[in-house]
Amino acid sequence: MSAAPNKPLWHIVPLAEFALPPTPVQEVATKRMHALRRLFRSESAPQPPAMALEDLRNLPEARLAHLAPPIDWRRAADALTIQFAEWAKADDAAKMPRFLVGPPYGGHAEVLEFWAASHGWHLIAPPASEHILADDPAWLEDANLPRDAWVLPHLEHCFLRHGDGLVLIRRFLDLAASGCLGRGLIGCDSWAWAFLQRIWPIPQSQIYTLQAFDGDRLAAYFQYALHDPMGRRIRVRNAKTGDDILCSADSDAAPDPPVSALLKRLAAHCRGNLGIAWNYWRTGFRTEPDAATPEVASANADAIEASEPADEVTLWWTAEHREPELSPTTEDELTHLLHALLLHNGLSQDLLAELLPDARMMLGANLLRLEHLGLIDRTETIWRVAPLGYVVVREWLGSRGYLIDDQP
């Protein structure tokens, strides 16, 4: 990675202080964005583009791992330590739990898991779905719920939007709010949070979130993450305009150069969600072809890098990859399915059939259809809205009057 940023990138704030990145004026004028390339239409690109897409190739995974490695949420856990330093040491008078709420791919659960491990607090796993539906009290017993210093990263996995799926979480929240469980940190996905606030009165003063990444902090994080194994400077340029987007921190660029307007628009488009922005960033990297074949390049990224200039490497970034789209005629059953996945931050096909009985007959086909559109993906048995489909799905559900995560 490049040199560490001079200023902290991560901030834990009360939910009421959450602020979306400013939206550029050009962006306000654009009503609905169905493709990321339209998001950057306002740029005064030369004709033809600086680098035609057909003259560029994708980067192998081995090289992307250096340019945009998986997000390290441990630094965010350090910010959590600062925010809760006094509370974590408090006596019985301050034993009400604290909540950390965040959007899909926003890292709230990972942050809490790192924090629990570094502070020696008990990590609580959510109950199994069959226990939720059966209102099995075993999960609430002493053996499963410690009476102090505990962390529950996934409150969204402790209930199901079903006639029998809400009793257990109400009992748990009652116990936690009464102080019977002592100090605890509870993580919750923002979509589940929007729903739970309507079934249980949660004190707003105890709710926190990761502050949104604006363009400046997004640029600083991407710059920090850039790394070249051979120690060369990295220059990332806009394939459409030829303008510089980012240079690695150890380059000869002036300190604190102006942040690319493209990154500011990306931050606004992703609502400051670093996890979503990281997926767009990683997807957009391209490089000029070289003598090595794609097969060789994929197998040996170091061989590619050895053929480039010794002191600097130039990479290109494009927004021409298309976002998934939903047409105005999309069936209600597909919309219900997408909303259920967001409300629970992922579900298995069996649970979807339990929660959406009217859609059971076509459920398998509909899941594959949404996967083909790039709107959802699957990890083992769990289906989730895909990172590059999230913005589109969120806008679509909001336009159809569904409950969405208004904040953050």
Cis omega (within 30 of 0) on the bond before 104?
no
First to last CA, the chain: 29
Position 373 scores a pLDDT of 93
Output the average pLDDT for the chain. 85
CATH 1.10.10.10 residue ranges for the chain: 332-399
Position 229 scores a pLDDT of 86
Position 305 scores a pLDDT of 47
Position 301 scores a pLDDT of 47
Per mean pLDDT, which range of 290-294, 364-368, 371-375 is the poorest? 290-294
For residue 297, what pLDDT band results from cuts at 50, 70 and 90? very low
- C-beta of residue 131 within 8 angstroms of C-beta of residue 141: no
Rounded Cα gap, residues 274 and 10, in angstroms: 10
Rounded Cα gap, residues 263 and 216, in angstroms: 8
What is the side-by-side strand order in the sheet with 98-102? 12-14, 207-210, 98-102, 184-189, 150-152, 122-123
Q: Where are the beta strands (DSSP E) in 164-278?
A: 184-189, 207-210, 233-238, 244-247
Average pLDDT over residues 23-46: 54
For residue 337, what pLDDT band results from cuts at 50, 70 and 90? very high
Query: What's the whole-model pTM score?
Result: 0.87
Q: Is residue 42 pLDDT above 60, yes or no?
A: no
Question: Maximum CA pair distance of the chain?
Answer: 68
List the alpha helices (DSSP H) in 107-255: 108-119, 129-134, 167-178, 190-196, 215-225
CATH 3.40.50 residue ranges for the chain: 97-202
The b/e string for 143-153 (b: 16+ C-beta within 10 A; e otherwise) is eebbeebbbbb
Tell me: the pLDDT tens digits for 76-108?
A: 999 999 999 888 877 655 678 899 999 999 999
For residue 44, what pLDDT band results from cuts at 50, 70 and 90? low
The CATH number that domain 332-399 falls under is 1.10.10.10
φ, ψ for residue 122, nearest 5 deg: -70, 135
The helix (H) or strand (E) run that includes residue 295 is helix 294-299
Classify domain 97-202 at the CATH class level. alpha beta
Average pLDDT over residues 284-302: 59
